[in-house]
Structure formats: structure tokens, C-alpha cells
Chains A and B, each alone.
Chain A
Amino acid sequence: MIHKADWKRKIFILCNTLFLTLVTLISIFPIVHLLAVSLSSNVAANAGVVKMIPVGFTLEAYKFLMEKSDFLIAFGISLKRVALGTTINMVMVILTAYPLSKEKSAFKARTFYVWFFAFTMFFGGGLVPAYIVIQRTGLMNTLWALVIPGALNVWNMVMLLNFFRGIPKELEEAAIVDGANHFTILWKIYLPVSKPALATILLFTIVGHWNAWFDGMIYMNSPASYPLQTYLYTLVTQNFNKKLLTMDDIERLKNVSEKTLQIAQIFLGALPIMLVYPFLQKYFIKGIVVGSVKE
């Protein structure tokens, strides 16, 4: 009997491993496929024979992109947006979460402020009024339109607030006796012990800014000031806009297919995230669990 059960278990483990390998493949296939196509010769790419390994290996597409100014400009705008936006978001989230993490006895107005911020999570004016407000406040066609309206992410703020509340009060009380003010307490006590929560929020903020494309599309008037993901959106949906090419481009394009070029750009659009993700992964899984299964 025991032998039979053992045998059944082994078959299950084998099937399970195979199935999970398949799921893993489905998850990473698209990104590997992109890389493979972008490194293939244009003939192979257009024939659709490339799967996960490049056929007729060439770096032509990437060489072409390194000199393609509109792609590089969009890439630069995205980097600027991530740097500026992430800095603002982190400062705002920390500054707001700290006072709201205080007990009502230590901060009388807390309840009012919490409702003031929380209400915006459940109700909003909608796309059109938001658009009008951004227009009226003069942010149109500037990088500020992409970073200021979302400067305070209330979800992240609530997550950090909950993390702050778990910090033992004794640390803080001792500091108050020594005459430390709130800014010192925040900087010297709260932030150093909140690294996992901060890393999670940092990752989500970077990813959010890098991946956002819709706001760039509606708040930027000219394609020349699009961030990379908005640029990719137009590239993908308009299936390669020939008007963006100069005569010089067309001359050099002879060696590269439009397809490998397009795929290479999409791949580069995903690459920075792929590079940051492994480093912050161990924190953010913890962060998700803390944020969603709060007990």
C-alpha cells in the first residue's frame, strides 16, 4: 500500500514540475521572444521563424537605435521623469505617512486628515475634469504634468503609515525625552527601520513612472516630448510611423527590418525594469503581503 502511494506521489511531482515549468515558460516567453527577434536578421524576423533563439544573429537594430534621435530623446525624457517623479513621490509619501501614523492622543487632528486623504481613494472627478484642472494650472506640455498631479500616492502612503504604526513606541519616547523633534525622530528612528516598506514603495513608484504612457499621450502636445512608453504606444498602434523617419534614417534602414527595429525598441522599453526588479524583489514580496494581508 505504502509503495503504491509513494509511486503516485512521484508521478504527481513529475507532472507538477512539468506543468509549472510550462507556466514559467509562458510567463517569460514573450520577453525572451522579443530579445530573440530583435537580434535576428530581418529576413528571419519577417518570416516568423524566430522563437526563443535569434536566427541570423545581428546587432544592426541596436546599432541603428543608438543613432535614432527620437528614440533616444524619449528614453531620456523617461529617465528624467523617473528621477524627478520618484524623488517627489518618496518625499511626499514619507512626509504624509509620518504624522498620520500618530495615535489620536498624540495628534488631535489625525482623524480629519486621514479622511481627507482616504476619500480620494474611493471617489474621483474622472478623466475630463482632471484634464481641465491640469490645463488650468498651466502644467500642459511640461514634465510637471506627469509628476505633480500624482505626487502623493495615497495607497503607498497608507501602506507606509501602517508600517510606521508597527514601530515600537519606546524608541520614540526615549528620543522625545532627549529633546528630539519630529523631523529628527522621522529621520533617525522611523526611516532606518522601515527599509523593507520603503524599498517596496520605491520599486512600485519607479515602475509606475517608467511604465506610465497614457498621461504622456494626453498632456504632451507634440510627439517630440513623449516619454518612452508613450512613444512605444504610438509605435505599436500606428505600426511604425514612417513620418518619424528622416532621409538619412531611410538610407541606413536598408540593413534593418522595420520589424526587428520595432521589437528592439519594445525590448529596450522593458529592459530597465528587468534590471531593477531582481534587486528589490526580496523586499517587495514582503511588502505586498504586509499591504494586503494585514491582520
Chain B
Amino acid sequence: MENVVAKNEQINKELLQRERKNKARRNRLALELPLHIMLIPGIIVTLIYAYGPMFGIIMAFQKFNPSLGFTGSKWVGLKNFRFIFHLPDFSQAFKNSLYISLLKIIVGLMVPLILSLLINEVSKNWFKKFVQTSIFIPYFLSWAVLGGIIFEIFSLKGPVNLMLGRIGIEPIYFLGDNKWFPFILVTTDVWKSMGYNMVVFLAAITNINPSLYEAAAVDGANRWKQTFHITLPGMMPIIILICTLSIGSILNAGFEQVLMLYSPPVFRSGDIIDTLVYRLGLIDGQLSPAAAVGLFKSLISLTLVSISYYLAYKVSDYRIF
């Protein structure tokens, strides 16, 4: 008798549990459904305009004809890749991209680093703010506007040549000379973007424990020594992180900037992969070879980005989300 009651109780318990579980599942669905709904617009746009072009990469293996579309165009295997690898412009653009972006990374790191150390030495708060605000202004201007400014400033009769003339230097055609063009690209890019990294570095400096400086001062270390033995080591993690993350963008030498500033005489020193893709594909209409160049670049970038994020994760425990 007791056995039966116990068994009944057991069954009742199980039923109750199952019902609870079902209820929980329904509850969970009711709770999670709005979350799925919120994602729908983002998913649609991403599928069409981010994954769509990824699917469109198949045109790099076709002789793409816009009227036939992705499915109707003729497949040609690796012919487009053989074509671009034999293109002299391609290897030139590849070399230029590496050279220009490497210079941009190095100078673009050093200048804000030095500026942030100098600004940190300023004691007046209003001056600090004023400098910081001003340095950030070029960051918000488009390359179309900056292009106009740069053409004006570096023109043969512009302010830069005017000043060089005062010390007896013949006017230099900066934007039309292969010797000078990469230099102009690097300088103007660093000038535009230095405010950003400077803010990041300044934040890193304020995060350093003040008691370290007090201890150093007691030991008789002057400002110079404090900078070298406390401030710089304290900033090392963020410097290393920025370096690592920039590995991934090493083939991005600044598309809009170059497109704005270059001209046929400086193609030799200024043409980069992105501008080559643009000219080849959208100006000359060689859609498939241009897509092949683009795929080549995307694959290298994906590899480098993966490596750099892995390193950033290992070295400084960095995660984007």
C-alpha cells in the first residue's frame, strides 16, 4: 500500500516537473522572441549588403557579364588571377600599399605618443583642453575638404613653397613629384588622425598609479627619468595593442586620401591596391580582374587580422566583445 502511494507521488512529481520545464521553455521562447525580432532588420541588411558581395566574389572566377549576372556568366577558373599577377601595375600597387601604410603606422604612432607626453607636462588645464580640441579638428574633415586645403597649401604658390622660398629653396611640386608624394600622404594622414591616438594615449597616462611618481620623486628621479621609467612602461600595453591591431590593416593605405590627391604622374609612387581596383573595375570596366585583385587583398587582410587579434588576445587579453 505504502509502496503504491510513494510511486504515485513519484509520478506526480515527475509530471509536475515536466510541466514546469515546458512552461519554462514557453516562457523562455516568449522572453527570447522579441530579441530575435529586434535583430531582423540588421540581419536582412547584413545578408544583402555584406554577405551578398561575399557571394559576388565568385565573379573573380568568371568572365563576368553584367547582363548575364552571377549565374549566367562564363566560368574561367584562375584566368583572372594569372592576368592580374602579370600586370606591372599590380605589383607596384602592392609594394606602394605596404610601404605607405607601414610608414603611416610608425609615424602615426610616434607623433601622438610624443604629443601626449608633452601635453601631460602642461599644468594649465584650459591650455591642455585647447590644444587637445584643436588637434582633433582635422580628424572630422573629409578628404574632399582636406584635399582642397592640401592642394592649396602645397601648390607652387602656396604657403609651404612661399616659406621654402624665403630660405632660398626652389619651389617644389609636392603633389606631382614621385619623390615627394608618399611623404605628403604620410604627413597629411598623420596630421588628420593624430588627435585620435593622442586621446587614447592620454587616457593611458592618467591610468598610471600616481603613487609610483611619488615614490620615484622620493628616490630623487627627475621628470625626465620619471617619464622614461614610469610613464612609458605604463603606456606599453596600449602601445603594443595598437601596434598589433594595425598589422591587420597593413594593406589599407588610405583609399579616399590617395584617390583625392593622386594624379597620373604620381601613379608610380602613389597607386595603391584599392585605387587600382577602382580604376580597373569601375573606370575601365574590367569587372572580373578587379574583383580578383579585391579578393586577393581581402584574403591577405583576413589572415593578418586573424593573426593580429589572436596576438592581441594572447599579449594583452584584448577582446572586441
A-to-B contact residues, CB < 8 Å? 5, 9, 12-13, 16-17, 19-21, 23-24, 26-28, 30-31, 33-34, 37, 48, 51, 91-92, 95-96, 98-100, 102, 106-109, 113-114, 116-118, 120, 122-137, 148-152, 157-158, 161-162, 181-183, 207, 210-214, 218, 229-230, 232-233, 235-237, 262-263, 266, 269-270, 273-274, 277-278, 281, 285, 288-289, 292-294
Which residues in window 258-289 of B have CB below 8 A to A? 259-260, 274, 277-278, 281-282, 287
Pick from B39, B56, B138, B162: contact of A27, CB below 8 A.
B138
Which residues in window 45-104 of B have CB below 8 A to A? 45-46, 48-57, 59, 66, 69-70
Pair A128/B294 contact, Cβ less than 8 Å: yes
User: Knowing that A12-B223, A24-B131, A269-B145 are A-B contacts, what are 19 other residue pairs whose CB atoms are under 8 Å apart, sorted by A's residue number?
Assistant: A17-B127, A24-B134, A27-B135, A31-B141, A91-B41, A106-B32, A113-B43, A117-B42, A122-B305, A125-B50, A126-B277, A130-B49, A148-B49, A158-B320, A181-B34, A232-B148, A266-B149, A270-B142, A292-B200
Closest 7 CB pairs of A and B: A125-B53, A126-B294, A129-B56, A211-B142, A99-B35, A129-B53, A96-B42
Residues of chain B lying within 8 A (CB to CB) of residue A288: 196, 199-200
Residues of chain A lying within 8 A (CB to CB) of residue B172: none
Which residues in window 122-150 of B have CB below 8 A to A? 122-123, 127, 130-138, 140-149
Dominant secondary structure at the A interface: helix
Chain B proximity of A107: nearest CB distance (Å): 5
Pair B294/A129 contact, Cβ less than 8 Å: yes
Pair A232/B145 contact, Cβ less than 8 Å: yes
Chain B proximity of A288: nearest CB distance (Å): 5
12 A-B contact pairs sorted by A residue (CB < 8 Å): A16-B121, A27-B135, A30-B138, A51-B159, A99-B39, A100-B39, A116-B43, A149-B49, A162-B321, A182-B38, A269-B142, A289-B200
Residues of chain B lying within 8 A (CB to CB) of residue A34: 148-149, 152
Whether a CB of chain A sits under 8 angstroms from the CB of B238 is yes
Pair B45/A213 contact, Cβ less than 8 Å: no
Total number of B residues with any Cβ neighbor in A under 8 Å: 95
Pair B135/A129 contact, Cβ less than 8 Å: no
Pair B122/A16 contact, Cβ less than 8 Å: yes
Which residue of chain B has the shortest Cβ distance to A34 in the bound complex?
B149
Pair A30/B149 contact, Cβ less than 8 Å: yes
Dominant secondary structure at the B interface: helix
Which residues in window 171-197 of B have CB below 8 A to A? 191, 195-196
Residues of chain A lying within 8 A (CB to CB) of residue B151: 236
Chain A proximity of B12: nearest CB distance (Å): 29
Whether a CB of chain A sits under 8 angstroms from the CB of B36 is yes
Pair A125/B145 contact, Cβ less than 8 Å: no
- The verdict on A126 contacting B57 (CB below 8 Å), with A114-B321, A116-B46, A181-B34 known, is yes
Which residue of chain A has the shortest Cβ distance to B288 in the bound complex?
A128
Chain B proximity of A150: nearest CB distance (Å): 8
Stretch of B2-10, B15-23, B295-303 contacting A (4+ beta carbons < 8 Å):
B295-303
Chain B proximity of A219: nearest CB distance (Å): 11
- The verdict on A124 contacting B137 (CB below 8 Å), with A30-B153, A48-B158, A288-B200 known, is no
The A-B contact count (CB < 8 A) is 267
Chain B proximity of A16: nearest CB distance (Å): 6
Whether a CB of chain A sits under 8 angstroms from the CB of B115 is yes
Residues of chain B lying within 8 A (CB to CB) of residue A95: 38-39, 41-42
Pair B119/A237 contact, Cβ less than 8 Å: no
Chain B proximity of A220: nearest CB distance (Å): 13
Whether a CB of chain A sits under 8 angstroms from the CB of B222 is yes
Pair B50/A120 contact, Cβ less than 8 Å: yes
Which residue of chain A has the shortest Cβ distance to B58 in the bound complex?
A129
Chain B proximity of A268: nearest CB distance (Å): 10
Pair B118/A19 contact, Cβ less than 8 Å: yes
Chain B proximity of A118: nearest CB distance (Å): 7
Whether a CB of chain A sits under 8 angstroms from the CB of B157 is yes
- The verdict on A127 contacting B278 (CB below 8 Å), with A116-B46, A266-B148 known, is yes
Residues of chain B lying within 8 A (CB to CB) of residue A211: 140-145
In the complex the two chains form, what is the Cα distance from A262 to B144 in whole Å?
12
Chain A proximity of B140: nearest CB distance (Å): 5
Chain A proximity of B272: nearest CB distance (Å): 13
In the complex the two chains form, what is the Cα distance from A132 to B148 in whole Å?
31
Pair A289/B203 contact, Cβ less than 8 Å: yes
In the complex the two chains form, what is the Cα distance from A136 to B243 in whole Å?
39
Pair B200/A277 contact, Cβ less than 8 Å: no
Chain A proximity of B267: nearest CB distance (Å): 15
Pair A152/B45 contact, Cβ less than 8 Å: yes
Pair B133/A281 contact, Cβ less than 8 Å: yes
Pair A23/B203 contact, Cβ less than 8 Å: no
In the complex the two chains form, what is the Cα distance from A97 to B165 in whole Å?
56
Residues of chain B lying within 8 A (CB to CB) of residue A30: 138, 146, 149, 153
In the complex the two chains form, what is the Cα distance from A21 to B32 in whole Å?
56
In the complex the two chains form, what is the Cα distance from A108 to B32 in whole Å?
8
Pair B287/A128 contact, Cβ less than 8 Å: yes
Pair B135/A232 contact, Cβ less than 8 Å: no
In the complex the two chains form, what is the Cα distance from A153 to B256 in whole Å?
19
Which residue of chain B has the shortest Cβ distance to A21 in the bound complex?
B131
- The verdict on A233 contacting B149 (CB below 8 Å), with A9-B223, A126-B277, A126-B298 known, is no
In the complex the two chains form, what is the Cα distance from A8 to B214 in whole Å?
20
In the complex the two chains form, what is the Cα distance from A136 to B149 in whole Å?
37
Pick from B118, B143, B199, B238: contact of A16, CB below 8 A.
B118
Pair B153/A230 contact, Cβ less than 8 Å: no
In the complex the two chains form, what is the Cα distance from A117 to B50 in whole Å?
9
Residues of chain A lying within 8 A (CB to CB) of residue B45: 92, 148-149, 151-152
